[in-house]
Amino acid sequence: MLKRIEYSLEKTLFNSRWILPPFYLGLVLGIILLFIKFAQKLVYMFTSVIAASVSDVIVDILVLVDIALVASLLLIIIFSGYKIFVSKIDIGEHHDRPS
C-alpha cells in the first residue's frame, strides 16, 4: 500500500514537469519584446547620433549590449530548463545544431 502511494506521488511529481513549457514560451515572447525595444533603441540612436554627446552614445550602446545579454540569458534558461526538466530537444540532424 505504501509503495503504491510512493509510486503515485513520484509519477505525479514527474508529470508535473509539463507545467514548465508555458513559462518557457512566455520567456520566448519576452525575447521578442526585447528585440522590439532593441530595434527601437537602435533607430533612435541613428536618428539622434549627430546631436548626441559621446557619453550618450556610449550609454546607448551599453543599453543595446545589456538587452542582447538579457536575451542570450533567456535563451540559456529556456534551452537548459527545458532539456533538464521537461524533455530532450529533438530537432533531428539540423545543420545548425551545435556539436
Per-position pLDDT tens, the chain of length 99? 888 999 999 999 989 999 999 999 999 999 999 999 999 999 999 999 999 999 999 999 999 999 999 999 999 999 999 998 898 877 777 777 666
d(CA 16, CA 8): 12
Predicted local confidence at residue 76, as pLDDT: 96
Calculate ∠ Cα 74-97-83, nearest 5°.
50
pLDDT of residue 61: 97
Give the whole-angstrom CA distance, residue 66 versus residue 41.
12
Residue 98 has what pLDDT?
65
pLDDT at 99: 66
